[in-house]
Structure 1
């Protein structure tokens, strides 16, 4: 808290510096800057419509990422600030100035002084300035075309140097001061330009907007048209390749009679699977029937040979075999497409021959019994059944063997076609993908072209540039003046703060206690002059009262009390302090004895210390000892050395310090040694010749009690919400 109070009082002490010095510096800066050229600023806003504007891409549902949107806006910023754009602005602005400028009168194009400056330096190209037409716009365009035609890449060419030399208003450095920025995340670009000629500011922005639109359209449309031409040429070339590969594929399919290779190969595989299953099934039936037939023939013995040699048996058996073979052909060769009535007729004929064969066997009655008289009917019926089954399986195997040869030919036919078709279809697919990719790219380029056309139409000036009537630097002058004022104020504060921190003058209580490490008990003000001298006596009395009030608290009530006044240097005001506190003690009823080494006849200061005997003052009796105060003024420690018994056999030691002088390291060493010699006897500092504000830290508010002084005192004591009673003059 004491540091806050210290800073408040520091500011109050340097209040006149804080008020007057920054104000003087600010006025000087404002006065000096009043003669500087005034700058004029013009602004305009351009709506691009690239992101939020309606175009073909957005209507078709195609969206762009934030990165793409940022890149698009950056491209616009780069186009408007590119050297190519600014160079065209430079030549067009120079042509406009030369056509519309007036050497004797300021106009909306240029000041007369600036026109004379530019005109006088362009003597070599005066013949390029065309003013033959009554229409200044035509003159301006002709002048611009003359400048462009005259320009060559030669450092000695004047037109070439208009943009690159240090020619004001139209050179590269001047035009690069044009500020272009995007307003937030919107589609709007803000363009701002500042210079000391309002006409040039206005005309530069008008030309820049027009040139920006031209450069943007030339760049975007030129790039897109080249891309579209490339895609169309590629689309035509790849289309021919695609058509050739498709024709080759078609010819190969016709040549090999393949309509759908995958379906046909699946059908062949299915037929082969069915063939394999039927073949093994028929082969199994063939072997089973043959085995059973042979077993039954063994049981029938000679009867089987008789039956097999029978003409009817041979006839019907042959017919059954022939019919089974035809039915197998109809079953396993579906591609032959035998009509269903024919198949039904063959089935009926087969059943008829089976029945006829059974009846023929029944007529052979002599074989109904064997030689043992056992009936052969059941055996013969089973044997006949197996014979028929055997013939059926035999016919099917014959047909299936032929089918096997046919299936092998199918595989031989389809096997090489598959790989060839794959290669030809892959070639067609590759060309088709290329064609579609180029077609998509061409469509995207065409959409992009239309979108650019719409976006170019969206490049609209929201806020037209205005002709500045008032300079924009007035506010800057004010801001600079305020900045100088604040800078001076801060500089003064830090300057005095550093001085105060480094200063070893004990001008106030805070500094005295910080530097010495000891408490301050009292403070006496210096003698004021002029109108304030009427308060000198009041200040002295208040300081003496405060010191005596504090000193009494250290007195012993049962004996006389001795107060030592010491100092490091002579002339620090010990006699003055002794006189004032002696008067105060006397008024309070104390019997005061004043002893000063200056009142003795000894000229040697050390002799006074050695001859001093305080016990002689205790001869009047012990009853009044408690009301007796002995104030002893010793010579300065620079001239004489005090002993420990002098400093310890007293009630209080007061170190008098002149607050106007520097507290040196030697002073601190003397004080610390004196403090050690005092042992348990208190020693305090008394500041003399202080200013009124420093004395108020101990004595309280001192007159005059004006409103401002009372307000500052309350603030310095951090009584921010206090409601103190008003003080009256002493």
Structure 2
């Protein structure tokens, strides 16, 4: 891009460049007229990552990133919750309702007057009380009322300072980096209100966080405390039932007692077996002795005399047997004394029985010659032993019956005792589990209570307003920045412009020489001066084109001189160009035949008898002569009578033109619009035209701007306006085109 083109680009878009800068500066100036904003910040340490935990019992400590992220998000959600902003707005309203005058620690004088005159209505003033708590209660009641009121309209709005929508926009909570700290930022138009609002918000946030954590952990601890107490009562009841069962049934150690009973039962069975064997032996001995004594009558007399003693001996033997069996199970010293007493009585009864037996026998020897005294002693011994064995067997049988009764009692006691012990085991397990859970809940509660102790690192500060020295500078920067941005866009569009804007581009892209450059026939305002200047430019351009036509056809001596007017695409302006050529040639007293294509069968009204249309048909495509065209009208039989014949054909890219006819033309004019790009399809159509045409091909650049005209034709002879350099919109320079 040359310097001249660069300057011309700036000139043609100067208004647009200045407008962009002015709009940018105006937008900044309007924003700068607003009230100055003040920002206060606060920093709170949550201790989620950095602080220790009461549950950390090991030396090392690992950080759960997901847990930390979740806790921080919960804190941010609590701080930005609708309920929190609602309560904050109510508290702020109560605070500023109680102010009787402006206090620089709370509010500026201008904002105090604004609140009293514009924000606080009579209904809101009526809620003011003597204390902050009562005023807050009144406002809260109105805020939660079912019927609409001024408090609700103020809080649930975007009103400055008190509207929850305003607080949502201006009050922000962020996590600072990857730390466990939360940053609170509030921006508003009054520095004192900015600081106090942030203070009130932090107090509300910390209290809500502590209450939330405490309620969460208290509910868990209370649940497990109740469960532990219930399990403890159940355990005591189960142990009481077991104790009552043991006391009622005299059970000290069920397993040992049952084992002892089983052992004693086996011992009794063995003892009975031995005693029964002994009794059988004694009975046999008694019968043998009685047989040896022989005197049955004497023995009967002795048995009758010994009956009482034998009965008493039997009773003594029974008691001794009981004591012996009891002694094996363990008896006190009193039982041993009784045993010695009974043994003495037994010996005494034996002696008595011996004396009675000796009195009953009057012979010294038995029939077998055995000493009677000796036999009687043996007989008495067997009698006594037999009585003792029978007594012992009776005691053993009685004891076995007692053990059978004990067995019948202990059998169900075992299952009942197992059931009671199993119940105690289950209740004890439940109690221990609940106790462990309760301890964990208490540990978690203490952990939460420690975790809720958020530490305020940076308290909200009072923002100080500074003079806005940069405002004017920013306006200038906005002006320059806007202008430069628009200029950069215009420059980029100029570099990216791929249109056929001037003859140099046409030559570079098409390879054709430009015969003339036509102006845009509808540039801007329809003033007389402008029309005069445009008509002069058009006349000069057509004069150059006419001169070019004559030069290119000068070598042909015969007539007619054939001129082909074409374009690669539709609406390029070739119809207008062909009509102007015909008009100018006729103005020089030349008879010109101008033929143009017609798609439909309707023939348009022609302004000249030699301006005729021809039908676009399949026959037209194979025409080799002018006469082969389906012309609407009468032409001379001898074409030599026409010095010039101008043929307009449809757009080359349509393919609807007489290709064999093209080789007869002496000059081809290819009309191109200046505001379109040259595509590959256009180039292919031009190649086809080169191969079909015989004469030279020249380009006609249509719709060029004023600078291109000036560069191609020089200064126009008409007077120039002082506003000529201003850019004016374009219109199409043609009537119809195919």
Give the alignment's TM-score, normalised by structure 1: 0.49
Give the alignment's TM-score, normalised by structure 2: 0.48
